[in-house]
Amino acid sequence: MSASRELTTAGRVTCLALAGCVVALLAFDHPWPRWVAAFLLALLGLSFLGVGARIPRCERLAPARMDEGSNRELELSVRHQGRAPLFAGRVYANAGEFHVPKQAFSVSPGSHRLPLRVRAHVRGRATTFRLHAESWQPFGLVRHRATLQLACDTWVFPTPRVLRESVLEEMLEMQPCGLDLPQPTGPGEAEFHSLREWREGDSEHHVHPRVSARRGRKVLRVFRGEAPPHLQLVLDLRVQDGPTFERADFEEAVRVVAGITRSMLRRSVPVRLWFHGERRLRAVVPERCRDLHGYLAALALARPIPVEASELDPAVLPTQRAGSRGVLLHLGDAGAADDPAWVRLRVGSTDFWRLVQPWHGQLVGSES
């Protein structure tokens, strides 16, 4: 902890008044400047001698999981070792993944847990947290400042984008052929696959009556062919070194990957997430994972890799199973679409914006 002590505006005014009293004492033979100077000198002496409470010791920030742009109150462990209560204190921070607006606090001697309002800035994981604290000595003439390095374990997850479900089903060939005919890909005709929520435009013939009655809303039966048995998601981390707008597009690609993952997990479709680096493909989440937070945690740690345009080779894709689907999100050249099992989405393309639901759709109503 690095601490410093400085005069406040009131302290500077007091020093100027003390200097004026000293000048008046030398110029005039009157007791009033002497008494005022003695009083002001006593105030400054009490403040500089440190009478009163110092900045309490902040030990740890409670672990938490947050979304981009969200606000949350986290518990801050504080230990105040002074003898007198501290009534004038303030903490703030504005760096890294978090922003803490200036907020006042007061503590009594001992250990406490203070609520700290935190706003998440960007996705990522923070293990240390830099917090600035201030406290004032009695009379408000001297201010103590300290920069605290706190231990924490806070995740900021990317916000999944709202997608047009009908466009996603069309891209992955999940729509059944005909009016109400499923596309069985297994050995049996119309083989049952999973359940999903009813959406406007769906057929009433596939509504599951017992599950719908139990949940209080319409639930549809999904047959094989209406949902892929397995989905592989590949996020190309390579960004052309140069234009800055492509780095912003990378953040948009991360949110769309999170949106596709959320949509597939709602359909009980296994999803395997891959990251494509410079020349290597690595799996970051296995297909047996069913928790959306596991995928969001991996996406929170994804960082773009700047490369030259000449080094931007076609992405290497994993081997696809029979009947499975794959989606590749990229910002550069992904190669020719020679495999019909793979959907290649370039960020900013027409197909990309067809899939992404506009933000105002969340207010009017979305299909998710």
At 278-314, the pLDDT tens digits run 677 888 998 888 899 999 999 999 998 887 766 667 7
Q: Name which of 73, 63, 176 is nearest 116 in CA terms.
A: 73
**pTM (2 decimals)?**
0.70
How many Å apart are CA 295 and CA 354, to the nearest integer? 24
> Quick check: 37 and 22 in contact, CB under 8 A?
yes
CA distances from 74 to 71, 124, 158, 173, 256 (A): 10, 17, 19, 44, 28
Which pLDDT value is given to residue 51? 47
Which pLDDT value is given to residue 87? 59
Which pLDDT value is given to residue 4? 74
Which pLDDT value is given to residue 106? 75
> Quick check: 59 and 35 in contact, CB under 8 A?
no
Give helix then strand counts, H and E, for the chain.
8, 18
Give the CATH number of domain 165-174+228-364; options: 1.20.1280, 3.90.1580, 3.30.420, 3.40.50: 3.40.50
> Quick check: 268 and 195 in contact, CB under 8 A?
yes
Residue type, 356: V
Tens digit of each residue's pLDDT (9 = 90 or more) over 103-135? 777 777 778 888 888 888 889 888 888 888 887
Which ranges constitute the DSSP H helices of 291-355? 292-300, 350-355
Q: How many Cα atoms sit within 13 Å of 87 on the Cβ side? A: 5
Which pLDDT value is given to residue 366? 37
Q: Which residues of the chain have pLDDT under 50?
A: 51-52, 176-189, 360-368
Q: State phi, psi for 162 to the nearest 5 degrees.
A: -75, 125
Which pLDDT value is given to residue 148? 79
How many Å apart are CA 164 and CA 31, to the nearest integer? 83
Tens digit of each residue's pLDDT (9 = 90 or more) over 142-172? 787 888 788 888 899 999 998 988 888 878 8
> Quick check: 15 and 47 in contact, CB under 8 A?
no
Residue type, 262: R
Which pLDDT value is given to residue 147? 82
Distance from the Cα of residue 72 to its chain's centroid:
11
Domain boundaries, the chain: 8-48, 57-157, 165-174+228-364, 178-226
Q: Euclidean distance between the first and final Cα of the chain, in Å?
A: 48
Which pLDDT value is given to residue 160? 92
Q: How many Cα atoms sit within 13 Å of 76 on the Cβ side? A: 26
How many Å apart are CA 329 and CA 2, to the nearest integer? 45
> Quick check: 52 and 142 in contact, CB under 8 A?
no
Fold (topology level) of 57-157: Immunoglobulin-like (2.60.40)
Beta-bridge partners for 197: 219
